[in-house]
Structures are given as structure tokens and as C-alpha cells.
Structure 1
Amino acid sequence: MTNKEIIEKTKEYVKNKLEGEGSGHDWWHILRVYNNALDIAENEGNCDIFTVELAALLHDIADWKFHNGNLDKGSEIADFFLSGLNVDKKTIEHVADIIKNISFKGANVENTITTKEGMIVQDADRLDAIGAMGIGRAFAYGGFMKREMYNPDVPYEIHNTFEEYKSKNGSTINHFYEKLLLLKDKMNTKTGREKAEKRHEFMLSFLDEFYSEWDGKI
């Protein structure tokens, strides 16, 4: 089986698994991350594009948020699936490592992504968490988890450990300060940083509008 055929099989598999998902971690999120990863890879160069493609497509196949904080579940599923397509072991291990380490785990938690391919996919994933897409996904996820949209009596928190971060239960607006507004400065690649600038500014404008409407000023 050629690499192109493996990518097409992977797209089909992920689409069947995630199509119609309602928390913002659906097939269309995957496709946006995939396209962004390809664009970043093209601009950055000098990377294994096959690994980038597979990791982008499989990065949310079993997100820890829906599996009791289990960071290994997605890697295990990806390993099993790719082994069934006879992908070489080195590539499978690389993809599995990216999937395990891609997630944001708290403002002050060290990023454990080390390879260029991983950095590219992580940037692509983080780009879809900010800007207009990020705002839409944040409120979709908040509603899915039955969280308040905003509660001015509950301040946001800066998390120092993954345990603190995954146990949080604040409002969607708090999530902007606990994660989304931090991502611009956590981008790994030059292309990722450039893409993040406009999206970051859009979120700041949105928050200005949100607070003005909340307070009845406009």
C-alpha cells in the first residue's frame, strides 16, 4: 500500500469515527488541522510529511478529555490502526508519540513535543483553538460539558500541573485566559506564530465586545 493510499484510508477511518461529533472535536476540526499542518510544513520545510499527515489526522482519535484523562488511549488506537495498514514501526512510534504529547496541559506545564513534525502538528491544532474557529469551538465544548458561559464571580486560574488543568470546571470565558490567549506565545514554528497573530487579535476584540454587551454598555 502506498503512502497516499494509507492517508486516504486514515481519512476514511477518522471521518467515520468523528463525523457529527458535537464538542468541537469533530471530523471538520481534524480536516482543518490537517490542512493547516500541510501549509505549515510546506513553509517550514525539512520534515517527514507522511508523519505530519498521519499525526494530524489521528491526533484526536481518542482525546484524553473524553477518556478520563488517559493520555495513552489515542496513541494505542493509532498504533493498532496503523499497524493494520503495515505502516513501518518507526513512523508508528513517532505518530503515537506526537498524539500522546500534543495536548495543552496547563499554562505552566512544560511542552514535551520535541520533533519538528510534532511541533508542526501541535501548531496546527493550536491554531484551530484560537481565532473565530477557536471561539466557536470553545463555546461548543463548554455547552457539551454543561459549563457556564461566563460567571464574573468565579475567577480564572493559571494551572501549574496537568492534574490541576484537567480537573478545572470554570466557565468558557475563563478558558480564554487559562488556555486560548496563551497559545500565541507557545507556537513552535515561525509560520505558526505568524498565523496566530491575527487570530489572537480577533479573540481580544471578541472579549472586548463580550464584556461591553455583558455590562449593557452597547
Structure 2
Amino acid sequence: MDNLKMEAIKKYTQSIMEKDQTGHGMDHINRVVRLANKIAESENCNRFIVIAAAYLHDTVDDKIVSKPEQAYQQLREFLQTIDLSIKEIDQIFHIIKNLSFSQELAGTAEELTIEGQIVQDADRLDAMGAIGVTRTIYYGGHKGNKIYDPKIKPRLLRSKTEYREESTVINHFYEKIILLNGKLNTEHAKEIGIKRQKFLEEFLNEFLEEWN
């Protein structure tokens, strides 16, 4: 792996994510990188593409940046300056354009390579478990969402537009987070997911018991 190029990619990500207040900051990025690196040990994959995409996956997200298309162009220009090949850039872009839950809902997500599946698993695992619970509540507070309202029922989301509509924090767990465990790709991620899913389910049960 080219350490100089990877260090440049990390610094590029830091320049965009260091002031994030949505739960997608560098602490999240670094956990996704570590998880992706660990999962990659069990798979036949291009480790450089995995780690590069893990660092960059949120730098163009419309939850984070106000002008995603401009962010994509800026990213492409940056990757060219550090001498990544057209093939490498296209591989990274394919991953970050197709790994999100909202892309699945929109019906526009293309099938991911094994490198993309690894990054997607790492990103989804960080939305589960204790840290995932904390991040979901943190993001809901950032958006000004209610914690819970028993009169507002969880939805079965069918589109990206519905996904972007505001709901309660607890509903978000049922509408997205609790579903992620069944969408993991790799065996290693599925092993990690078992414990995190159990914690998530216990948290939700305890929350509703205390609320009632």
C-alpha cells in the first residue's frame, strides 16, 4: 500500500470532516477504516481501494456537504493530484456512490465489488451497537428531532425522499438501524453484527419499557 498517498487521502478527509457535528466526523471515519481493514484480512481484495474508500465515503454525502456534485468534482481533482490512476479513481467513486442505505431505497445503487461490500459493512457496523445508538441520538439532536412520540409510528421506507423526511429518533432505529444487520455482506461483518444487533434490540426494549 502506498502510505504517502493514503496519508494525503486521510488529510483530505480531515479537512472536510473535522468540524462535523452530525456523528460523521473523523472518529466515525477512523472506526470505519479500522473495521474495513479488519474485514479485508478475511477477503481477497485490493486493500488500498478499501481503505481509500473508507476514508472518503462521507466527504461527498449530501448529509454533510451542501453541494454533492461539486464535492465529487473536487474529490476527483484531488485524487488526480496524488497520481491515482483513472481505474483507481473510478473504483473508489463506484464504492462511495453506491454504498449508502438511501441509494438502495432510491433504487439507484449498483452492485458493489468486494471492496465496496467491505466498506459498506464497516460503515453499517458503526451505525449499530453502543456507538451506533449514541450516533443516532446525536444526529437526531442535531436535526432537532423528537426523541420519541408513540403517536408517530415507524414507516416502511420506500424512497430516498421518505428517508430524508424527519421522524423521531426512536423511529429511525426501526426504520433503518435495526435493519442493517440483515444487509451485511461478509462473514466477518456478520459475526460482529450479532453482538451489536443484540445490544440494539435490548436498548430499544429497555427504552420502551422505561417510557411506558
- Residues 61 and 77 in structure 1, CA contact (< 8 A), matched pair in contact too: no
- Residues 20 and 64 in structure 2, CA contact (< 8 A), matched pair in contact too: no
Match of 1:23 in 2: 22
Task: Map 1:2-21 to 2 at 5 A.
Answer: 3-21=2-20
Amino acid at match of 1:128: D
Check if 1:36 corresponds to 2:51: no
Query: Where in structure 1 are there 5+ consecutive unaligned residues?
Result: none
- Residues 50 and 116 in structure 2, CA contact (< 8 A), matched pair in contact too: yes
Amino acid at match of 2:124: R
The total of aligned residue pairs comes to: 211
User: Given the superposition, is the C-alpha separation of residues 106 and 9 from structure 1 closer, same or farther in structure 2, using an over 3 Å criterion?
Assistant: closer
Distance 2:92 2:10 in 1: 15
Distance 1:40 1:131 in 2: 17
- Residues 22 and 138 in structure 2, CA contact (< 8 A), matched pair in contact too: yes
User: Given the superposition, is the C-alpha separation of residues 13 and 39 from structure 1 closer, same or farther in structure 2, using an over 3 Å criterion?
Assistant: same
Deviation readout 1:106-138 (Å, 9 max, x if unpaired): 786655342000000000000001111110100
Check if 1:94 corresponds to 2:85: no
The RMSD of aligned alpha carbons is 1.8
Match of 2:62 in 1: 64
Q: What is the SS of the residue equivalent to 1:119?
A: helix
Query: Offset of 1:76 from its aligned partner?
Result: 3.1
Match of 2:148 in 1: 150
Match of 2:135 in 1: 137
- Residues 105 and 160 in structure 2, CA contact (< 8 A), matched pair in contact too: no
Aligned identity (percent) is: 39
Distance 1:147 1:140 in 2: 10
Distance 1:205 1:28 in 2: 25
* TM-score, normalised by the number of residues in structure 2: 0.92
Distance 1:31 1:147 in 2: 27
- Residues 131 and 203 in structure 1, CA contact (< 8 A), matched pair in contact too: yes
Distance 1:20 1:108 in 2: 28
Amino acid at match of 1:13: Y
User: Given the superposition, is the C-alpha separation of residues 192 and 71 from structure 1 closer, same or farther in structure 2, using an over 3 Å criterion?
Assistant: farther
Query: Offset of 1:79 from its aligned partner?
Result: 1.4
Amino acid at match of 1:139: I
- Residues 102 and 113 in structure 1, CA contact (< 8 A), matched pair in contact too: no
The list of structure 1 runs, each at least 4 consecutive aligned residues, that deviate by more than 6 angstroms after superposition, is: none
Q: What is the SS of the residue equivalent to 1:65?
A: coil
